[in-house]
Structure 1
Amino acid sequence: MSAALIGDFANTFSIAGVTSYLLASSPSENLQRIGFASLIAFSAFIAFMALVARPAILRLIHDVPEGALLSEARLVAVLLICLTCSFAGELLGLHATYGPFMLGLMLPGGAPLGVTMAERLDRLVAGVLMPLLFAQGGMRLNVKKLTGASTCILLEVLLVVGVVAKFVASILPCLYCRMPVRDAVVIGLMMNFKGITEVVYASAFMDAKVLDEQAYAAFMINVLVIGAATASAVKYLYHPEEKYVAYRQRTVQHKKLGEELRVLACIHSPEDVGPMLALLDASSPTPVSPISVYLLHLVPLAGLTSSVLRPFKNGDRNCVPSGATDSERIVNAFQFFVQQRPPASASLLPYVCIAPYATMHDDVCAVALEKRAMLIVVPFHTRLAIDGSVEPTSHNAAAVQAANTNVLNYSPCSVAILVDRDSLSTVAAATAAADGFPHRVALYFLGGPDDREALALATHMIEDAVIGLTVFRFMLPPEGQKHGGDTVEDELDEEALQEFVRRWVDDSRVTYSENLVIGSDEMVAVIRNTSPGFNLLVVGRRSESRESPLTAGISDWSEHLELGVLGDLLTSTDFGCRVSTLVVQQQTRAAAGEACRPPELPAQHRSGDPV
Structure 2
Amino acid sequence: MELNSTTLTCTFHPPFINSGGLWINIHRPQWWLNNSLPLLELQLVLFCFFMAIIHFLLKRSGVSKLSSQIITGLIFGCSWGKLNKGKFELFRVESEEILGLFSYFAYMLFMFITAVKMDVSMTLKTGKRAWIIGLPSILLPLTCGLLVSSFLLEGLTISEIRKLPLMVSMQSMISFPVIACLLNELKIVSTELGRLGLSSALVADMFSQCAVAIANQIRISRKNAAKGYYSIGGLCVQVFLVSFLFRPVVLWIMKQTTEGKPVSRGTTQTVFLVVLLSAVTSTLLGQPAIVGPYLLGLSLTDGGPTGFSLIEKLECFVSDFFMPVFVITCALQVDLSRILLVAALDNYTRVNIILAFVTYVTKFVCTFLTSLYCQLSFRESLMLSLILSSKGVVELSFCTLFTEYNILSRGILAWFTVFLLLIATFVPMVLKFLNDISKLQASNQNRNIMHLSQNSELRVLACVHTNENIYGFIHLLNISCPTQENPVAVYALHLIELVGRTAPVFISHRIENKPIGDQTYSENMLLSFDHFEKENSGSVYAECFTSISPHKFMHNEICKLAMDKITSLIILPFHITWTSDGLVDQEDNTMRNLNCSVIEKAPCSVAILADKGHLGSIASMASSGVRCEYTVCVIYLGGSDDREAISFAKRLAKDIKIELTVLKLGSSVEDNGTSKWEKMLDSEVIKDFKMTCLGDGRVKFLEEVSEDGPQTALRLRELVNDFDLMIVGRRKGMESSPQTSGLSEWNEFPELGVLGDLIASLDINTRTSVLVIQQQK
Report the TM range for the smaller structure's normalisation: 0.7 to 0.9
Contact 1:310–1:319 (8 Å) recurs in 2 = no
* Counterpart in the other structure of 2:755: 566
SS across alignment from 2:370: helix
* Counterpart in the other structure of 2:22: none
Separation in 2, partners of 1:572, 1:250: 30
SS across alignment from 1:480: coil
Query: Residue by residue, what CA displacement relative to the aligned partner does 1:167-220 show, whole Å, maximum 9, x if unpaired?
Result: 545444334434344444444444455x22324455675655747878767765
SS across alignment from 1:255: coil
| Counterpart residue identity of residue 459, structure 2 | R
Which one of 693, 697, 706 corresponds to residue 508 of structure 1? Answer: 697
| Counterpart residue identity of residue 464, structure 1 | D
Q: Indicate how the Cα distance of structure 1 residues 181 and 54 shifts in structure 2: closer, same or farther if over 3 A, else same.
A: farther
The correspondence of residues 309-324 of structure 1 with structure 2, limited to 5 A, is: 309-312=506-509, 324=521
Q: 1:48: how far off?
A: 6.0
Query: Residue by residue, what CA displacement relative to the aligned partner does 1:120-163 show, whole Å, maximum 9, x if unpaired?
Result: 23323431587235414524655996544526878899498376
* Counterpart in the other structure of 1:460: 651
Q: Indicate how the Cα distance of structure 1 residues 544 and 572 shifts in structure 2: closer, same or farther if over 3 A, else same.
A: same
Q: Which has the larger radius of gyration?
A: 2
* Counterpart in the other structure of 2:307: 117
Contact 2:235–2:285 (8 Å) recurs in 1 = no
* Counterpart in the other structure of 2:102: none
1:579 aligns with 2:768: yes
Separation in 1, partners of 2:415, 2:342: 5
* Counterpart in the other structure of 1:495: 684
Separation in 2, partners of 1:270, 1:5: 33
Contact 1:262–1:291 (8 Å) recurs in 2 = yes
1:333 aligns with 2:528: yes
Contact 1:293–1:346 (8 Å) recurs in 2 = yes
* Counterpart in the other structure of 1:271: 468
The correspondence of residues 358-397 of structure 1 with structure 2, limited to 5 A, is: 358-384=552-578, 390=584, 392-393=586-587, 397=588
Q: Indicate how the Cα distance of structure 1 residues 206 and 59 shifts in structure 2: closer, same or farther if over 3 A, else same.
A: closer
* Counterpart in the other structure of 1:417: 608
Q: Indicate how the Cα distance of structure 1 residues 66 and 444 shifts in structure 2: closer, same or farther if over 3 A, else same.
A: farther
The correspondence of residues 158-557 of structure 1 with structure 2, limited to 5 A, is: 158=353, 161=357, 167-191=364-388, 195-202=391-398, 205=401, 210=406, 223-224=420-421, 226-239=423-436, 242=439, 245-312=442-509, 324=521, 327-339=522-534, 341-384=535-578, 390=584, 392-393=586-587, 397-426=588-617, 438-477=629-668, 480-481=670-671, 483-506=672-695, 508-543=697-732, 548-557=737-746
| Counterpart residue identity of residue 420, structure 1 | D
Q: 1:83: how far off?
A: 8.0
Separation in 1, partners of 2:614, 2:459: 25
Contact 1:419–1:582 (8 Å) recurs in 2 = yes
Query: Residue by residue, what CA displacement relative to the aligned partner does 1:87-109 show, whole Å, maximum 9, x if unpaired?
Result: 7866776544456656766775x
Q: 1:500: how far off?
A: 0.9
1:132 aligns with 2:328: no
Moved more, 88-97 or 242-251: 88-97
Q: Indicate how the Cα distance of structure 1 residues 387 and 277 shifts in structure 2: closer, same or farther if over 3 A, else same.
A: closer
Separation in 2, partners of 1:116, 1:502: 61
1:150 aligns with 2:340: yes
SS across alignment from 1:405: helix
Separation in 2, partners of 1:461, 1:261: 12
Query: Residue by residue, what CA displacement relative to the aligned partner does 1:396-434 show, whole Å, maximum 9, x if unpaired?
Result: x22212222222233332221111212324579999xxx
Q: Indicate how the Cα distance of structure 1 residues 274 and 45 shifts in structure 2: closer, same or farther if over 3 A, else same.
A: farther
Query: Residue by residue, what CA displacement relative to the aligned partner does 1:527-577 show, whole Å, maximum 9, x if unpaired?
Result: 222222111111122347695343342234433232223222322334555
Q: Indicate how the Cα distance of structure 1 residues 22 and 410 shifts in structure 2: closer, same or farther if over 3 A, else same.
A: same
Contact 1:467–1:509 (8 Å) recurs in 2 = yes
Separation in 2, partners of 1:54, 1:312: 38
Q: Indicate how the Cα distance of structure 1 residues 241 and 358 shifts in structure 2: closer, same or farther if over 3 A, else same.
A: farther
Moved more, 549-558 or 14-23: 14-23
Q: 1:86: how far off?
A: 6.6
Query: Residue by residue, what CA displacement relative to the aligned partner does 1:41-78 show, whole Å, maximum 9, x if unpaired?
Result: 699689969997999799989x9999789999999999
Q: 1:19: how far off?
A: 5.8
Q: Indicate how the Cα distance of structure 1 residues 185 and 406 shifts in structure 2: closer, same or farther if over 3 A, else same.
A: farther
Separation in 1, partners of 2:493, 2:441: 17
Moved more, 158-167 or 413-422: 158-167
Q: 1:509: how far off?
A: 0.7
The correspondence of residues 23-102 of structure 1 with structure 2, limited to 5 A, is: 95-98=288-291, 101=294
| Counterpart residue identity of residue 441, structure 1 | V
Separation in 2, partners of 1:50, 1:256: 64
Contact 1:437–1:468 (8 Å) recurs in 2 = no
Q: 1:296: how far off?
A: 1.5
| Counterpart residue identity of residue 644, structure 2 | E
| Counterpart residue identity of residue 278, structure 1 | H
Task: Give the structure-2-normalised TM-score.
Answer: 0.61
Query: Residue by residue, what CA displacement relative to the aligned partner does 1:26-55 show, whole Å, maximum 9, x if unpaired?
Result: 8x9x76x988x5998699689969997999
Q: Indicate how the Cα distance of structure 1 residues 172 and 343 shifts in structure 2: closer, same or farther if over 3 A, else same.
A: closer
| Counterpart residue identity of residue 548, structure 2 | I
* Counterpart in the other structure of 2:162: none
Q: Indicate how the Cα distance of structure 1 residues 343 and 231 shifts in structure 2: closer, same or farther if over 3 A, else same.
A: closer
Separation in 2, partners of 1:355, 1:563: 25
Contact 2:262–2:309 (8 Å) recurs in 1 = no
Separation in 2, partners of 1:192, 1:551: 55
- Provide the alpha-carbon RMSD of the alignment: 4.8
Separation in 1, partners of 2:519, 2:235: 31
Mark the runs of 5 or more structure 2 residues left unpaired by the alignment.
1-179, 181-197
Moved more, 508-517 or 45-54: 45-54
| Counterpart residue identity of residue 332, structure 1 | L
Q: 1:581: how far off?
A: 0.9
Separation in 1, partners of 2:663, 2:573: 25
SS across alignment from 1:418: strand
Q: Indicate how the Cα distance of structure 1 residues 356 and 140 shifts in structure 2: closer, same or farther if over 3 A, else same.
A: closer
Q: 1:580: how far off?
A: 0.9
Q: Indicate how the Cα distance of structure 1 residues 107 and 139 shifts in structure 2: closer, same or farther if over 3 A, else same.
A: closer
Moved more, 273-282 or 492-501: 273-282
Q: 1:224: how far off?
A: 4.4
Separation in 2, partners of 1:334, 1:285: 14
Contact 1:418–1:581 (8 Å) recurs in 2 = yes
| Counterpart residue identity of residue 525, structure 2 | I
SS across alignment from 1:360: helix
Q: 1:496: how far off?
A: 1.6
Q: Indicate how the Cα distance of structure 1 residues 382 and 136 shifts in structure 2: closer, same or farther if over 3 A, else same.
A: same
Separation in 2, partners of 1:372, 1:380: 23
Separation in 1, partners of 2:299, 2:333: 43
Separation in 2, partners of 1:352, 1:53: 37
Task: State the identity as a percent.
Answer: 28
Q: Indicate how the Cα distance of structure 1 residues 283 and 231 shifts in structure 2: closer, same or farther if over 3 A, else same.
A: same
